Structure 1
Amino acid sequence: MKNEIAEVWFFNQGWEAHAFQKACWQQIAAGHSGILNAPTGYGKTFAIWFGVLDSYYRQQETLDKKPKKSLHTLWITPLRALSKEIHKATSQVSLDLDLDYEIELRTGDTSTSARQKQRKNPPQALITTPESVHLILASKGGQDYFKNLEFIVVDEWHELLGSKRGVLIELAISRLKSINPKLKIWGISATIGNLAEAKEILLGPGNQGVMVKADIQKKLEIQTVFPDNLEKFPWAGHLGIRLLDKVVDVINQYQTTLIFTNTRSQAEIWYQQIITAYPEFSGLLAIHHGSLSDEVRMWVEEALHEGKLKAVVCTSSLDLGVDFRPVDCVVQVGSPKGIARFLQRAGRSGHRPDATSIIYYVPTNSLEIIEGDSLKYAVKEKLVESRIPFVRSFDVLIQYLMTLAVGDGFQADDILQEVAQTHCFESITQEEFDQCMALLIHGGNSLQAYDDFHRLELIDGLYKVTSRKLAMRHRLSIGAIVSDLMMRVKFLSGKYLGSIEESFISKLNVGDVFWFSGRQLELVQIIANDAIVKPSTKKKGVVPSWMGGRFAISPDLGEAIRHSFRNIHKKSGISPEIKFLRPLFQEQEKLSALPKEDELLVEYIKSKYGYHLFLYPFEGKLVHEGMAQVLAYRLSLLKPATFSIATNEYGIELLSETDYELDKTALQQLFDPAGLHKDINSGINVMEMAKRRFRDIAGIAGLVFQGFPGKQMKSKHLQANAGLFFSVFAEYDPNNLLLREAYDEVFDFQLEEGRMKMAFDRIAGHKIIFSTPDRFTPFSFPIFAESFRERYSNEDWQSRLEKLKMQLLDG
């Protein structure tokens, strides 16, 4: 079956359609749902879009008279910037071919009048975000709005899958399928380890669906940027900025370069350092991250499109979908922490078919150089992470029930049947659903005395919200994105620069200087939720640290890194990275030992600071943090002691005043997988972690009102309110679903109990190499430096560490 609309448009562009695009058009014409997996820059949007248009116009041909215009396609994206991009591309098609198929945007930026117009006179296609779909369901007649819907397209589904926003999509689709059982659902996803599962979750049970994979091998070139000299005793961050000149050499070779950093503070540092060292980049270099104002970000994106910028320093805010054709090179500063993230970033360059994606990897310390080898191995072996979907997210379900009640109302039994069809809630019981309902009807077991929690009323068989105040508050709270409370950064003139986490601002005093948005700013005063600032010329400034900076290394990258360490023993056929690191490994072997892939190295070193126990599981910082606390707890059972704990991506340090009699048998017992769950509970303050996690859950479930736009509640008030609920539930309602969810999320996501268990199981089968060097080794020094940094002021620790390093080198 031919897709004539596509053929005409492609012919006019002088393009030839890819096989995967034609396959999508055929599958859509045959009435199938499915998932499309294709690399960025090859026309994924058009692969679905022309199928949608073809279906629409074929139906029009069979009708006697033109029907009243209604919503035909809902295109959901995770980012507003991506929504604008798709709106631009699809509207151009309607314009080029003079089609009467209208496409409109609905995001947080859409004005109230435009939304009202869209409700009265819907376009054929609406490009929107998960939150906006729920907002429509929370309005009167919202369900009617979708009654003629034929297509739902979920863009960047892999990105949404591993988040509670993915649960919002699952729930919305469950409702829209009931309104229109013939609905066709398509997802667009990058390559992930569990693509088949991603398809099943999106399409729902019983829907066979199809998988269309692009048979396109995007050429990828990975180059590691090496320092001139190898630092045998490295510490985190000692290298990054030292490679600045080499990064600028790379920038100068290409038309446009994206410089990706893992954290916003790192982005601010790099931007500042490049501009200071190379003032000629002024006006050609920009910065882009999630805390900058929309206005600043849109300007950067526009300038990138038009090829006006030489380079942009950015974070994951530019990871997704937005297509910048002028970008022909990507630089990754520091470990990308995950293979999928690295590939996604690499794919931002060479956005033309047959173009090679070029990515330069810039290590931030000597040991990180090995990850250049690990990343090449992962790409060659096609290792890529799975996205773990959320299950049993009762906070999102409670919000969703409230959404339906604020809208047209709902019948409890019908909604339970629909919800149980989603992956997230396939295990829900009647009792659990009743608990969610009870919380909304009368506040459940422990909040019945408070009128604010009598939210739903049964009217003519439907549960509804009759209070206008509660309805308004709910509409303002829809969504599942939670983060530390943000404060707005403004000049005295009122000009808005962006937002910054309250936990950072709360540590500053008036007069303190910090870097933000590529500027040096002095804090003048704090008024409610605004940090008022003025430009500063002081030389010293603090770089904001964002909570998002604590990435974990993915299990797959961990596996690739352990594989690289297997190659360090080889004499030939080794990568440039391992060849460069050879002197460091030789030093490590001379002072201690060099572990093989199936060995765990443990070092016990005495220094003037105490007794240092170093272990190297290579599991990533977040898993190590939990492991370290379990190991400290187990050691304290042998002999009571207080420990200082430090971790990095490769290992753990436990420092104490107490000397332990250690041997291989004792160490094997330390890593015994038996009793791990019990020891996590005993050795880690899980309750405190659950309390903090509960703040977000309480916000999503609507127990704690986050405040009105522009008048957000201070995070300490939110924490206090949420803490109150946590204590009440813990005492009077210990089986409360939201309380249980807080603990489950701590174990699954913060402590990564599953990964910790796998690490303990893996190590249980390893040979333990126990070494007692007389001084710090190249492996131990970077971890020791992490704890050393905490003890001293900024300049102090660097000079002291340098001195200590010189002593090690002299020794």
Structure 2
Amino acid sequence: MQWFEGKGWAPFAFQLEAWDAQQKGLDGFLTAPTGSGKTLAMLGGLFLTQLERQSSGQPTEKGPLLLWITPLRALAKDLEVSMQEMIDQLGLPLTVGRRTGDVSSNEKAKQRQNMPSILITTPESMHILFASARSVDGLKHVKQVVVDEWHEFMGSKRGTQCELLLSRLRALQPALMCWGVSATIGNVEEAKQVLFGTETRASHAVHITGDHPKEIDMISIVPESIEELPWSGHLGLSMIEQVLPYLEPPGSVLLFTNTRAQAELWFRGLLEAKPDLAGDIALHHGSLTQQIRLWVEGAIKEGVIRIVVCTSSLDLGVDFSPVDRVIQVGSPKGIARFMQRAGRSGHAPGKKSTIIFVPTHALELIEASALRESISNPALEDRIPPFAPMDVLSQYAVTRAVGGGFDPDALYQEIVSTWSYQSLTRDQWNRVIHHLVHGGDALQKYPEFQKLVVDGDGVLKPANRRVSTRHRLSIGTISSDAMLRVRYLTGGQLGTVEEWFIAKLEPGDCFWFAGRNLELVRVKQMTVYVRRAKGASKSIPAWLGGRMSLSSNLSAGLQRSLDAMERGQYDTPETRAIQPLMELQAERSAFPSHERFLVELSTSKEGYHAFFFPFEGRAVHEGLSTLVATRIADQQPITFTLAMNDYGFELLTDQPLPWSKSWIRDLFSPKALVKDLQRSVNTSELAKRYFRYIARISGMIFQGYPGKATSTKHLQVSSGLLYDVLSEYEPDHLLLQQAQDEVLQTQLEEQRIRKVLHRIQSQPIHIVETPRFSPFAFPIFVDRLRGKVSSETLVQRIKKMQDQAKHDLQRHQKNHT
């Protein structure tokens, strides 16, 4: 307490509650706002115990006493500094160390001899430790594990890795104390069960909530003029002049974009708009080298720079105490992400957070209004955990074999103690072992797939040293296509880009990356050699899979805002700004509403347009549009062109269709959903793509040694051949089944589509024939048109349609005066 008093602080009630529970050896789960003091809440129990031991003259216990699992290496470095500072100020005989991919091999060797009291690490690094028998022995002293930012882990296979590492640690130390920490989570009870493994253990864990509210001040930058017919991205960089005043001193700024390409564009756009920012602004995203990212993080903390244009790479809790405000470019597409990013400013207990919202198109102001309403009553999104991923299980089994071997019966008991594998049957486990020892039924003649052998005692061990070496290089579940390193001819590295982007360029072509204009010189052995180029190139790398889709919770908030506007309630700055646009929507069609399912029918020289507005996000609309198109094609031969955005989707045909309420209700029926979804898209090709990642995680294909990575094309061929062989000769293979399940659950969001279909069945269907596109239909039309005409032609067509909309709006206003 003297330490708190010396800083002029007083511990919060939730911190005192956590310390008391930790000293009693209880498991716990802490949910509290970003910047509320969660880190100190997790350390206080250990610190108090060590102070008591110190005062009674007891020797320091051998480490590690506490394992801190973090999702980002950048977080690990920041935590190490802040923890060591607290330990030094308290005068405790404790040490802190990191064990992540960026820690030197020399430092890791020292740790094997003398583990720190607190070890900060990632799930991947923990599994690499499990692949070493000597390192596992050093983990028997662990008393407490803290899984930080649990919400970031839970919705991915990295969360499954955490479950497995916890099951191993509990087997080594039955009295292990486990704590989960989360700033933003919707399904808290399920999150607890996944972390603790069993419902019983979860029910006995203490659940502590930080009870002091985080004050968030939200400012929306309203465009100086709002187009009568908005389209995706039509504002974009044109908002820079209105953003510049918020970048002025005093104070520092994080400017968040939703994609890496957008971050590159905004960084360049800001420098072009105000060259004086040079030296005061930096770029940060996940495809830049670690050296660049660490420099940026240190520079803003030390005040060397004031502004960082960034992506989700800075969503989490790296301690940027000097950040005064956050700018969000475009909708974050989720309430939890919005709250997380807002909390990056005023990142300290009791401090107010400030976030400035910049729409990239006018309709995003409705999302901004919904986000504003969520501040006082946030309905945070659920994180859906993967259930029993067999690729992760296969990888883990080999990890345990490499780490000294395992008895299959004993390991089975550990694995079924986790939430993910609680229903794993003996037969499934035996099939996993069969595939690892014999290669399965289809591949048993190929030694490449025989990774494990059974010794005389029934213990499974690696088949040879090559298996162990390759496996240690492949541990992890973060999958992406092969990346090419971007390096100057003179030797400095900048980061990575995807192979498909570079394949479009020729030597001498220029592109913009890492905040620099670069000229491609040559590509050699997965490395892109570049030199600086003058001017600015239009070509900017894009990374596949970076586009975010509207969350179901923000979708519900958006529809509440629409319902309020339909009742004439324009109560927020955002809805007041967009009121003329909404009046035009009402004149040309009707308000999209949660009370009805709106369908708009239009005709143009392109054909017959049908627009549907479920408001469930691009990914769901992609699945719905293909589902409905397939069901129509079952009844009559017809060709469709599809387009979609977060608000709805379009079916374009060359012949009229007999749209009626009863027919639409039949087309949106949840009956035979899985069967029809599988027919509606090329699920075989989608499953083959997912299988490529599954095969890498499971170890069926090897991505290559450091500096000699296998090309994406080669991996596609290898995994494609495996997929075809297994499909023909072993169709019930567990990894094939997993690929098909992941297509339905992840790509097509089958469960969410099912909910939407049930909702539509209960709604009145409202069909409106619109002579001209409505403000909600127009951006969907433009998204489809983008890929068909040049940008100049597109702008001309948009301008003509907007002029007509302006005329209609003026006539509407004249008639109501």
User: Which residue of structure 2 lines up, in the alignment, with residue 350 of structure 1?
Assistant: 346
* Unpaired segments ≥5 residues, structure 2: 809-817
User: Which residue of structure 1 lines up, in the alignment, with residue 532 of structure 2?
Assistant: 535
- Paired amino acid for 1:737: L
What is the distance in 2 between the residues matched to 1:50 and 1:283?
A: 40
Q: Secondary structure at the match of 2:181?
A: strand
| Structure 2 residue corresponding to 1:258, chosen from 238, 241, 254 | 254
Q: How far is 1:773 from its partner?
A: 1.4
Q: How far is 1:775 from its partner?
A: 1.9
- Verify the 8 A CA contact 1:143 1:408 in the aligned structure 2: no
Q: How far is 1:59 from its partner?
A: 5.8
What is the distance in 2 between the residues matched to 1:147 and 1:808?
A: 71
Two-structure CA RMSD over aligned residues (Å): 1.6
Q: How far is 1:254 from its partner?
A: 4.8
User: Which residue of structure 2 lines up, in the alignment, with residue 10 of structure 1?
Assistant: 4
Q: Secondary structure at the match of 2:591?
A: coil
Q: How far is 1:488 from its partner?
A: 0.7
User: Which residue of structure 2 lines up, in the alignment, with residue 44 of structure 1?
Assistant: 38
- Paired amino acid for 1:153: V
1:549-569, CA deviations, whole angstroms, 9 ceiling, x for partnerless residues? 221111101111111110121
What is the distance in 1 between the residues matched to 2:536 and 2:194?
A: 53
Alignment CA distance shift 1:163-1:317 (3 Å): same
Q: Is 1:33 the equivalent of 2:27?
A: yes
Q: Secondary structure at the match of 2:248?
A: helix
Q: Is 1:428 the equivalent of 2:421?
A: no
TM-score with structure 2 setting the length: 0.96
What is the distance in 1 between the residues matched to 2:495 and 2:465?
A: 32
User: Which residue of structure 1 lines up, in the alignment, with residue 498 of structure 2?
Assistant: 501
What is the distance in 1 between the residues matched to 2:546 and 2:700?
A: 28
Pairing 1:61-460 to 2, within 5 Å after superposition: 66=59, 69-205=62-198, 206-207=200-201, 208-252=204-248, 254-459=250-455, 460=457
1:693-752, CA deviations, whole angstroms, 9 ceiling, x for partnerless residues? 111100000000011112111011111111111111111111111111111111111110
User: Which residue of structure 2 lines up, in the alignment, with residue 703 of structure 1?
Assistant: 700
User: Which residue of structure 2 lines up, in the alignment, with residue 525 of structure 1?
Assistant: 522
Deviates more, 1:439-448 or 1:374-383: 374-383
User: Which residue of structure 2 lines up, in the alignment, with residue 561 of structure 1?
Assistant: 558
- Paired amino acid for 1:437: I
- Verify the 8 A CA contact 1:513 1:538 in the aligned structure 2: no
Deviates more, 1:532-541 or 1:69-78: 532-541
What is the distance in 1 between the residues matched to 2:653 and 2:570?
A: 42
Q: How far is 1:688 from its partner?
A: 0.8
Q: How far is 1:492 from its partner?
A: 1.6
1:340-385, CA deviations, whole angstroms, 9 ceiling, x for partnerless residues? 0000000001123332111111111111111111112223332111
Q: Is 1:514 the equivalent of 2:511?
A: yes
1:90-137, CA deviations, whole angstroms, 9 ceiling, x for partnerless residues? 111222233221111111011112111111122222111111111111
Q: How far is 1:27 from its partner?
A: 0.6
What is the distance in 2 between the residues matched to 1:772 and 1:170?
A: 53
Alignment CA distance shift 1:313-1:507 (3 Å): same
What is the distance in 1 between the residues matched to 2:802 and 2:307?
A: 35
What is the distance in 2 between the residues matched to 1:209 and 1:468?
A: 42
- Paired amino acid for 1:764: Q
- Verify the 8 A CA contact 2:607 2:652 in the aligned structure 1: yes
What is the distance in 2 between the residues matched to 1:809 and 1:15?
A: 58
User: Which residue of structure 2 lines up, in the alignment, with residue 4 of structure 1?
Assistant: none
What is the distance in 1 between the residues matched to 2:670 and 2:763?
A: 13
Q: How far is 1:175 from its partner?
A: 0.8
1:153-203, CA deviations, whole angstroms, 9 ceiling, x for partnerless residues? 111111111111111110011011011101111111113111122122212
Q: Is 1:663 the equivalent of 2:654?
A: no
- Verify the 8 A CA contact 1:484 1:503 in the aligned structure 2: no
What is the distance in 1 between the residues matched to 2:601 and 2:569?
A: 32
User: Which residue of structure 1 lines up, in the alignment, with residue 742 of structure 2?
Assistant: 745
Q: How far is 1:531 from its partner?
A: 1.3
What is the distance in 1 between the residues matched to 2:4 and 2:350?
A: 18
Alignment CA distance shift 1:727-1:57 (3 Å): farther
What is the distance in 1 between the residues matched to 2:95 and 2:558?
A: 50
Deviates more, 1:531-540 or 1:351-360: 531-540
What is the distance in 2 between the residues matched to 1:302 and 1:309?
A: 9
Alignment CA distance shift 1:492-1:800 (3 Å): farther
1:634-660, CA deviations, whole angstroms, 9 ceiling, x for partnerless residues? 121232111111101101011121221
| Structure 2 residue corresponding to 1:787, chosen from 778, 784, 788 | 784
What is the distance in 2 between the residues matched to 1:218 and 1:388?
A: 26
What is the distance in 2 between the residues matched to 1:494 and 1:553?
A: 41
What is the distance in 2 between the residues matched to 1:442 and 1:252?
A: 65
Q: How far is 1:58 from its partner?
A: 4.4
Alignment CA distance shift 1:33-1:78 (3 Å): same
Q: How far is 1:54 from its partner?
A: 2.5
Q: Is 1:755 the equivalent of 2:748?
A: no
Q: How far is 1:572 from its partner?
A: 4.2
Q: How far is 1:241 from its partner?
A: 1.4
Alignment CA distance shift 1:61-1:724 (3 Å): farther
What is the distance in 2 between the residues matched to 1:553 and 1:466?
A: 47
- Paired amino acid for 1:698: A
User: Which residue of structure 2 lines up, in the alignment, with residue 587 of structure 1?
Assistant: 584
- Paired amino acid for 1:269: L
Q: Is 1:625 the equivalent of 2:618?
A: no
- Verify the 8 A CA contact 1:194 1:387 in the aligned structure 2: yes
- Paired amino acid for 1:614: F
Q: Secondary structure at the match of 2:119?
A: strand
Q: How far is 1:573 from its partner?
A: 5.6
- Verify the 8 A CA contact 2:474 2:702 in the aligned structure 1: yes
Q: Secondary structure at the match of 2:253?
A: strand
What is the distance in 2 between the residues matched to 1:470 and 1:678?
A: 40
What is the distance in 2 between the residues matched to 1:12 and 1:446?
A: 68
1:407-427, CA deviations, whole angstroms, 9 ceiling, x for partnerless residues? 111110011111011011111
What is the distance in 2 between the residues matched to 1:272 and 1:426?
A: 50
Q: Is 1:688 the equivalent of 2:681?
A: no
- Paired amino acid for 2:42: I
Q: How far is 1:56 from its partner?
A: 4.3
Q: Is 1:805 the equivalent of 2:784?
A: no
- Verify the 8 A CA contact 1:34 1:203 in the aligned structure 2: no
Q: How far is 1:538 from its partner?
A: 4.5
What is the distance in 2 between the residues matched to 1:789 and 1:156?
A: 39
What is the distance in 1 between the residues matched to 2:635 and 2:97?
A: 66
- Paired amino acid for 1:28: Q
Alignment CA distance shift 1:510-1:658 (3 Å): farther
- Verify the 8 A CA contact 2:254 2:309 in the aligned structure 1: yes
- Verify the 8 A CA contact 2:450 2:463 in the aligned structure 1: no
Q: Secondary structure at the match of 1:548?
A: coil
Q: How far is 1:810 from its partner?
A: 4.7
Sequence identity of aligned pairs in percent? 44
What is the distance in 1 between the residues matched to 2:760 and 2:509?
A: 47
Deviates more, 1:781-790 or 1:671-680: 671-680
Q: How far is 1:598 from its partner?
A: 1.2
- Verify the 8 A CA contact 1:232 1:366 in the aligned structure 2: no
What is the distance in 1 between the residues matched to 2:736 and 2:7?
A: 57
- Paired amino acid for 1:468: R
1:770-800, CA deviations, whole angstroms, 9 ceiling, x for partnerless residues? 1111222211110000011011234443344
Q: Secondary structure at the match of 2:480?
A: coil
